[in-house]
Structure 1
Amino acid sequence: MRIYTRNGTLYVDLRAEGLGRTSTGLKDTPYNRRIVESEYADYRPAKDFGYFARMYLRNKEIEVKPSSFQKYARIVSSVCAKFGDMPIGDIKVSNLSKWLDSLDVSPKTERDYHTVLRGIFQEAVYDDEITDNPAKKLRKPKLKKPEIEPFTPSEMERIIATADGWFKNLVMLGFYTGMRTGEIAGLKWDDIDFNAKTIHVRRTRRKGMNGDTKTDGSRRIIPILPSLEPALRNQYGLTGLRNGYVFMKDGKPLPDTLRLNESEWKSTLRRAGVPYRRMYNMRHTFIVTMLNSGHYPVMTIAKWVGHTSPQMIFNCYAKHVKSELINADFDPFGDDFGTLLAQSG
């Protein structure tokens, strides 16, 4: 802060604090100078919402993988367009609630906004700019639990029989391992051990970038079932000598599987006469098939698909489960699927 005179009037220069210059309206006298100095002695300009939003985003860039950071950055940009220039202490719960109600987004996306808002205001709490986090008082929208729709054994067989070439091999991998679609896109030949008959899941791939798996438990080892091995060996003949990614298109690694959903997956389902469901539903199908085989403990299945506990399995798939027995050396897809795979190469 700097006090100066212009035409006999006292001015205060606050540009160093991020503000401008302002007239006090007082004549330049020793007494008035003492008044101005006293009033501004403890002056600390209020920091705006955007200041803490940038702080929040810098921390997130360190904490999360690039694909997640992009989501946070989009939300922060949207929130700052509304509140960025406002002093953060002036923003009330009612301001946030009214704005969130105006958004045309799904309940899940709105919850993401809640998470970001809570994080930004918490940065201001840590910095002693505010004492209370208004975003914590927002009412969260209720989420409708998504319906799990696995493919039936007949539908799975028709999809595999209809798919062509390398995409057939990818589909088999999805149905017979329960790998997430991003994990499939990020799979490399170094991750596959034909001698030990295992697949190491080490990364995920989205929008052309590799990232860490969803959770620490997602880094895992999956057995190569007998029904799957012919497909992997077939794929090795297509891309194995390049010693890179397992699945490639037009000579390049798959950026992710989102484009395949349009270019390959939907077409395959139409030709197979199977109602549309996402590629991700191959994962659901694997889990339900394993559970209904009655030969694998739930904890084993949970580890294979990257869950740290069986609770998620019970919560999501209970209504699809018919039985649960234990036998760790059983291929639930059976000889018919093995024959189908061998013929499909």
Structure 2
Amino acid sequence: MSVKVVKGGYVIDFTLGHQRYRETVPAPHNKTALKRVEEQESIYKFAISMSDKSLADKFSTSKIIQKAFDKQCEYTIHDYSNIWFKQKQRRWSHTTVRGYSQKYNSYIKPNWGTLQLTEFKASMFDEWASESSLSAKSINEARNVLNQIFKCAYQDEVIDKNPVERIERYKQDTKEPKPFSKDEIKRILNALPVPYSQFFQFAFYTGLRTGELLGLRWEDLDLDREVAHIRVNITSGIEKAPKTAGSIRTVELHPVAIEAIQSLKTTIYIDNKRVFIDPKTMNDYKYADGLRKYVWKPTLEKLKITYRYPYQCRHTYASMMLSQGKNPMWVAKQMGHADWGMIRKVYGRWISQQQ
């Protein structure tokens, strides 16, 4: 019997002319539905054996009929991107939706969107990548989105193979961090007004990610035990849990980080649930871009310090701790990494030779 009962319906599964055909049909489990699906299977077999497409017209959405009569060629990459997006988007975070949409609209749609799924070749992507000025990271991100679209079509049995699997990932060069020196840190903090000086002092001496700094609440701090519980992250204005399970952690606070909090407690900026708030609006930070543009960048320019993104505060913390002989596993835990592999890869030259 080639009609099998499965959860939520039935599976039509048969082989004809050395070709296997398979399709899931959602239907209730009763005699009437089973009979209908069995009749549907008979129509499929007869239509395929007689090469008669007209008998199958009323099953135009059938995966079996699509496969038998090459209807899958009617789908373009853009068509299936919409199907993939609709199927998966509820599982994605806001930032993932935005990132995938940007990569698709910028790179995939204008280059291959009008191609039928079966027309796309791996060499087309490689040719585009070889002529592109994009970084290897961006090329790989575009490849990932394209791969997910084709993987969806393959799993739906619309295509027989996924050509993107033949595209090798491009080697990404690891950019070595450019931490700030102790003198630079001192000059920056001295030049910043309250409460920006406390914000960046805490950043330099905890290594927290930007979103973790924005999301930090007073309830997350335990100054008696000299720790901070990292439980919240702010990304694109949305509060959510940190990016990975390892990022939900308790960090030991450096004395200079505690000093920043104690200094902040003497100001007027502590009546909010967040530790760091925008002094201009007295509201929570939703984005860090304003801090970078209007506080951080002008300060470095004024001091004639080589510009680096604020994220280098995190790199500075890691390099300082490792240079002081801290155990790499301890540093990894502090920064929210699952193991010390990333620490070894990114900060290798700062690891004390005595380790």
TM-score, length of structure 2 as denominator length: 0.74
Give yes or no for the alignment of 1:54 onto 2:68.
Answer: no
Assess if the C-alpha contact under 8 Å between 1:179 and 1:283 holds in 2.
yes
Is 1:41 equivalent to 2:71 in the alignment?
no
What's the counterpart of residue 266 of structure 1? 297
1:285 alignment partner in structure 2:
316
For 1:307, the equivalent position in structure 2 comes to 337
Residue 75 of structure 1 deviates from its aligned partner by 1.7
Aligned residues: 289
Mean CA deviation greater in 116-125 or 265-274: 265-274
How many angstroms does 1:81 deviate by?
4.0
Match of 2:146 in 1: 117
- Give the partner amino acid of 1:55: I
Quote the residue 2:159 is aligned against: 130
How big is the alpha-carbon RMSD for the aligned residues of Structure 1 and Structure 2?
2.3
Asked whether the 8 Å contact 2:269–2:282 carries over to 1, the reply is no
SS in 1 for 2:255: coil
Correspondence for 2:261 among 228, 232, 238? 232
Per-residue CA distance 1:238-295 (angstroms, 9 max, x = gap)? 332222453324222222222211111112223334211111111111111111112x
Q: 1:59 to 1:253 in 2, by over 3 A?
A: farther
Q: C-alpha displacement at 1:102, in angstroms?
A: 5.1
Structure 2 distance, partners of 1:151, 1:56, is 44
What one-letter code is carried by the residue in structure 1 that aligns with 2:104?
V
Alpha-carbon shift at residue 235 of structure 1 (Å): 2.4
Q: Which moved more, 1:246-255 or 1:110-119?
A: 246-255
Which consecutive residues of structure 1, in runs of 5 or more, have no partner in the other structure?
A: 1-35, 326-345
Q: Name the CA distance, whole Å, in 2 between partners of 1:105 and 1:273.
A: 30
Do residues 77 (structure 1) and 105 (structure 2) align?
yes
- 1:68 corresponds to which of 96, 100, 109: 96
Q: Which moved more, 1:226-235 or 1:101-110?
A: 101-110
1:213-232 mapped onto 2 (5 Å cutoff): 213-232=242-261
Q: 2 CA distance for matches of 1:248 and 1:305?
A: 25
Please show how residues 179-218 of structure 1 align to structure 2 within 5 Å: 179-218=208-247
CA spacing shift, 1:324–1:62, aligned 2, 3 Å: farther
Say whether the 8 Å CA contact 1:293–1:323 is kept in structure 2.
Answer: no
Contact residue 204 and residue 212 of structure 1 kept, 8 A: yes
Between the aligned partners of 1:275 and 1:104, the Cα distance in structure 2 is: 25
Q: Which amino acid is 2:345 matched to?
A: N
Residue identity matched to 2:246: G
Instruction: Quote the Cα distance in structure 2 between the aligned partners of 1:128 and 1:241.
Output: 58
Distance in 2 (CA, whole Å) between partners of 1:274 and 1:113 is: 35
* Equivalent position to 1:255, from 281, 286, 293: 286
**8 Å contact from structure 1 (residues 66, 211) kept in 2:** no
Conservation of the 8 A alpha-carbon contact between 2:202 and 2:256: no
Higher relative contact order (CA 8 A, sep 6+): 1
What CA distance in whole angstroms lies between the structure 2 residues aligned with 1:183 and 1:244? 11
Q: Over residues 176-201 of structure 1, what are the superposed CA-to-partner deviations in whole Å (9 max), with x where a residue is unaligned?
A: 10001121122222222223322111
CA distance in 1, matches of 2:185, 2:212: 20
Distance 1:102 1:272 in 2: 40
